[in-house]
């Protein structure tokens, strides 16, 4: 018995060594998703053995069975867990390591059947020429896996191929993770490249200089000092930083061309599909240029299958062959997989109810890497999906579309819905997405409830919808999800004749009260993020004030800010454009523009908790945009001076855009000596980015009080800045 145990332990050690060779380590590499071997009795095997591994996002979904030559089936159950690995999106994959010994398994099974994440795969026999009677079973499904990847985004505009990046272009962003004390002294960026083409640098002497680049610490709102840089082949760009100014773990960074660059430094490659990456960390020798191979893999992120230029001009990508741990010497059949890897859109199942569609679980297995899209007809009032849809869809979004609207539901919301059903009632439960298009007459009645506001012309810019998300058990009990942990993205089609400056998505309460949600106009659709469902409308909000006629210089600015619910009048009918703006009013405008909130309203002794502006003042103070007249005094009701305004708006600009306003030169205002020393650099910066300008005789008038119309103009500039 003891000798058997020793031999079995020895075999387990051999298996561990084999698996460690076959599976990827820290480096990012392709690996076969499923791989098994059959070993007959031999010098190292006391019993016939099947060993191997499966990579999966959902270990509970995996089962493996051997299909024997006598038509019997053996369930392979003995397994352990290896160290998890991650894909490009930091999705964790567990590795299940199998080791199954059975004295009755004298012949290799004809095939293995693997149930994995809702799909069934058949792995056929492949003879191993190196060992008699040994066989392997391998899937042609592969993954690019490595250790944990840091978050990052490629910020290049890839629409126009074979062009130089303009001055000021953002290149890439990244957030270093799990850094040691000595790391953070440099970055290696591999700009888009493939086997035939790559990003290139201008080779003319002196064209590309260190001053052409900026590395911005977005979190700290500061610039990282670049000490050395180098350019390599295939768009390889490397930076070194001062030891006293190293990258900081969990800080977000953006690498960009500086605004003073000439715009002819970096040339994008021609139309095609490319790969890019960014790696940050300790470069070992500390001497430029950085050595890419010395970087810890955890501080790397890759961007694969990037399309540059016209997608229609890009040839179809050749499928990448899967990694083969041990190739067969004879052309035996390779593993086959079911279903087909070609994604098809989910097809709703017809229902006896013409207003209802049912999407089955099998259909949800299709889709793309990022989302599963279900197209539904106009007039559909309910979409039903299995409660287990979250296991099938995984970390992708579920998108429900018709030609008037679209709703994208993230994984967290689907999981929340599933958790609302007791485990013993999940079988047969369904997720329900209800859509009620509000009729034109009912829409008109809702909007008429706001007609008591003076000078407000409110028009629907598209269809109005009432949405509801719930889960229904087999016995008919329905539970509605009222709040979302992660926002749902809503897209509403708008009329082509609607005024873009006055559009917004609004939540419409039962009493007709409107709550502005926001929204960005993209390709004829208003896109907004929702935290709850109810009735939503794309509205054109045209507000006029009696004291701001159409020919007033600030009329359009005030209209647009009012439509976005950033600014309001002193009454329904009056705006008071010449009235002095207070410090509290200006802080409120900044908070609304940047969507800043705070739970703490007791920041300054002279700002009462009940003050309508208390939350905004606290939020803007927390963001470092405003400070008080002292540590405890804000003076909310004091008029704001032009120099105080300049300080606040320049800080708000840096907060919003993740970069400091660049000071081109000191502006030669005739009353420059009257400016407080603390305000001078801010006035220069605000002038450089066009937020402010002088008055008559080139005066800045720093102590002059800001009017409400002037304040609106400055806030409008902040809103539009980038």
Strands 371-375, 397-401: pairing kind: parallel
Decide: 250 and 179 in contact? Cβ < 8 Å. no
- Please report which confidence band the pLDDT of residue 299 belongs to, taking 50, 70 and 90 as the band edges: confident
Residue (of 67, 48, 57, 49) closest to 114 by Cα position: 67
Q: Is the pLDDT of residue 578 over 60?
A: yes
Tell me the pLDDT tens digit for each residue of 209-262: 999 999 999 998 889 888 888 888 889 898 888 766 788 888 999 999 998 999
Distance between CA atoms of 611 and 583, rounded to whole angstroms?
A: 13
- Please report which confidence band the pLDDT of residue 367 belongs to, taking 50, 70 and 90 as the band edges: confident
Decide: 713 and 575 in contact? Cβ < 8 Å. no
Q: According to the model, what pLDDT value does residue 41 have?
A: 73
Q: Which residues pair with 116 in a beta bridge?
A: 119
Given the structure tokens 């009620």, which residue do they identify? 436
Q: How many Cβ atoms sit within 10 Å of the Cβ of residue 453?
A: 12
Q: Is the pLDDT of residue 696 over 90?
A: no
Tell me the pLDDT tens digit for each residue of 92-129: 888 888 888 887 777 889 899 999 988 889 988 887 65
Q: Could you tell me what percent of the chain has a pLDDT over 90?
A: 35
Tell me the pLDDT tens digit for each residue of 607-632: 988 888 999 999 999 899 987 888 88
Q: CA torsion, points 671, 677, 679, 680, in degrees to nearest 10? A: 60
Q: In this structure, what token pair is assigned to residue 612?
A: 């309508």
Residue (of 526, 569, 525) closest to 548 by Cα position: 569
3 state DSSP class of 293 = helix
Q: In this structure, what token pair is assigned to residue 409?
A: 């539901």
The pTM of this model reads 0.52
Tell me the pLDDT tens digit for each residue of 58-70: 888 888 999 888 8
Q: How many Cβ atoms sit within 10 Å of the Cβ of residue 683?
A: 27
Alpha carbon separation from 223 to 236, 281, 286, 718 (Å, rounded): 22, 17, 21, 21
Q: In this structure, what token pair is assigned to residue 657?
A: 């855009």
Q: Is the pLDDT of residue 586 over 50?
A: yes
Q: Rounded to a whole number, what is the distance in angstroms from the first to the last CA of the chain?
A: 74
3 state DSSP class of 363 = helix
Q: Is the pLDDT of residue 474 over 90?
A: no
Which residues, in sequence order, are CB contacts of 382 under 8 Å at separation 6+? 353, 355, 356, 357, 432, 433, 434, 435
Of 1 and 515, which is predicted with more confidence?
515
Q: In this structure, what token pair is assigned to residue 319?
A: 């499928």
Distance between CA atoms of 507 and 487, rounded to whole angstroms?
A: 14
Residue (of 306, 232, 314) closest to 271 by Cα position: 314
- Biggest alpha carbon–alpha carbon distance for the chain: 103
Given the structure tokens 């999981």, which residue do they identify? 415
Q: According to the model, what pLDDT value does residue 23 have?
A: 46
- Please report which confidence band the pLDDT of residue 3 belongs to, taking 50, 70 and 90 as the band edges: very low
Residue (of 526, 523, 402) closest to 461 by Cα position: 526
Q: According to the model, what pLDDT value does residue 297 have?
A: 66
Which residues, in sequence order, are CB contacts of 569 under 8 Å at separation 6+? 545, 562, 575, 576
Strands 456-460, 430-438: pairing kind: unpaired
What's the rounded mean pLDDT across residues 298-311?
80
DSSP-assigned letters across all residues of 568-627: --SSSS---TTSBPBHHHHHHHHHHHHT---S---SSTTS-TTSTTHHHHHHHHHTTS--
Q: Which residues pair with 137 in a beta bridge?
A: 36, 125
Write the DSSP symbol of residue 413: H
Q: Where are the alpha helices (DSSP H) in 91-198?
A: none
Q: According to the model, what pLDDT value does residue 544 have?
A: 93
Write the DSSP symbol of residue 369: S
Q: According to the model, what pLDDT value does residue 275 have?
A: 87
């Amino acid at each position: 018995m003891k000798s058997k145990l020793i031999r079995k332990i020895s075999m387990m050690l051999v298996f561990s060594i084999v698996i460690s060779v076959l599976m990827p380590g820290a480096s990012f590499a392709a690996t076969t998703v499923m791989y098994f071997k059959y070993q007959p009795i031999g010098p190292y095997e006391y019993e016939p053995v099947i060993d191997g591994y499966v990579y999966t996002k959902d270990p509970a979904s995996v089962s493996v069975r051997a299909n024997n030559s006598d038509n019997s089936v053996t369930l392979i159950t003995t397994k352990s867990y290896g160290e998890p690995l991650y894909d490009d999106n930091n999705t964790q994959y567990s590795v299940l390591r199998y080791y199954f010994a059975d004295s009755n398994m004298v012949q290799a099974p004809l095939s293995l059947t693997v149930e994995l994440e809702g799909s069934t795969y058949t792995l056929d026999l492949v003879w191993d020429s190196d060992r008699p009677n040994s066989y392997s079973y391998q899937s042609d499904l592969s993954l690019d896996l490595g250790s944990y990847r840091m978050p990052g985004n490629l910020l290049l505009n890839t629409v126009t191929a074979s062009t130089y990046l303009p001055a000021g272009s953002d290149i890439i962003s990244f957030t270093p993770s799990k850094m040691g004390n000595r790391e953070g002294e440099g970055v290696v960026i591999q700009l888009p490249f493939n086997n035939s083409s790559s990003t290139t640098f201008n080779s003319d002497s002196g064209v590309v200089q260190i001053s052409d680049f900026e590395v911005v610490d977005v979190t700290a709102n500061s610039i990282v000092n670049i000490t050395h840089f180098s350019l390599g082949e295939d768009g390889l760009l490397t930076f070194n930083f001062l030891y006293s100014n190293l990258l900081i773990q969990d800080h977000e960074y953006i690498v960009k061309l500086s605004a003073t660059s000439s715009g002819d430094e970096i040339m994008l490659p021609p139309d095609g599909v490319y790969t890019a990456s960014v790696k940050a960390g300790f470069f070992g020798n500390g001497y430029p240029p950085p050595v890419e191979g010395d970087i810890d893999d955890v501080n790397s992120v890759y961007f694969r299958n990037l399309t540059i230029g016209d997608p229609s001009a890009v040839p179809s990508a050749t499928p990448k062959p899967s990694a083969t741990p041990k190739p067969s010497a004879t052309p035996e059949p390779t593993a086959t997989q079911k279903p087909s890897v070609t994604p098809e859109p989910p097809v709703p199942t017809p229902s006896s109810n013409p207003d209802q569609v049912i999407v089955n679980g099998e259909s949800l297995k299709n889709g793309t890497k990022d989302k599963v899209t279900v197209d539904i007809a106009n007039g559909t009032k309910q979409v039903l999906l299995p409660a287990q849809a979250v296991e099938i869809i995984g970390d992708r979004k579920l998108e429900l579309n018709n030609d008037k609207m679209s709703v994208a539901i993230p994984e967290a919301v689907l999981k929340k819905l599933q958790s609302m059903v007791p485990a013993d009632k999940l079988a047969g439960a369904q997720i329900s997405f209800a859509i009620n298009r509000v009729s034109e007459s009912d829409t008109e009645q809702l909007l008429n409830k706001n007609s008591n506001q003076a000078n407000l012309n409110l028009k629907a810019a598209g269809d109005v919808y009432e949405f509801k998300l719930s889960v229904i058990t087999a016995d008919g009990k329905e539970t509605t999800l009222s709040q979302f942990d992660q926002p749902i993205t809503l897209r509403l089609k708008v009329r082509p004749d609607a005024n873009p400056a006055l559009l917004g998505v609004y939540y419409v309460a039962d009493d007709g009260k409107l709550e502005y949600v926001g929204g960005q106009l993209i390709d004829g659709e208003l896109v907004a993020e929702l935290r709850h469902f109810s009735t939503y409308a794309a509205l054109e909000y045209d507000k006029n004030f009696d004291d701001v006629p159409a020919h007033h210089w600030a009329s359009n600015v005030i209209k647009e800010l009012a439509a976005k619910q950033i600014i309001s009048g002193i009454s329904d009918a009056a705006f008071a454009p010449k009235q002095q703006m207070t410090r509290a009013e200006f802080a409120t405008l900044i908070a609304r523009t940047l969507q800043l909130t705070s739970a703490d309203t007791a920041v300054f002794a002279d700002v009462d908790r009940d003050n309508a502006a208390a939350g905004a003042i606290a939020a803007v103070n927390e963001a470092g945009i405003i400070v008080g007249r002292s540590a405890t005094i804000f003076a909310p009701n004091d008029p704001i001076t032009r120099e105080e305004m300049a300080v606040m708006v320049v800080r708000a600009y840096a907060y919003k855009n993740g970069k400091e306003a660049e000071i081109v030169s000191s502006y030669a205002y005739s009353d420059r000596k009257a400016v407080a020393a603390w305000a001078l650099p801010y006035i220069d910066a605000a002038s450089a980015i066009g937020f402010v300008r002088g008055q008559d005789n080139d005066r800045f008038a720093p102590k002059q009080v800001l009017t409400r119309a002037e304040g609106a103009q400055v806030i409008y500039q902040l809103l539009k800045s980038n």
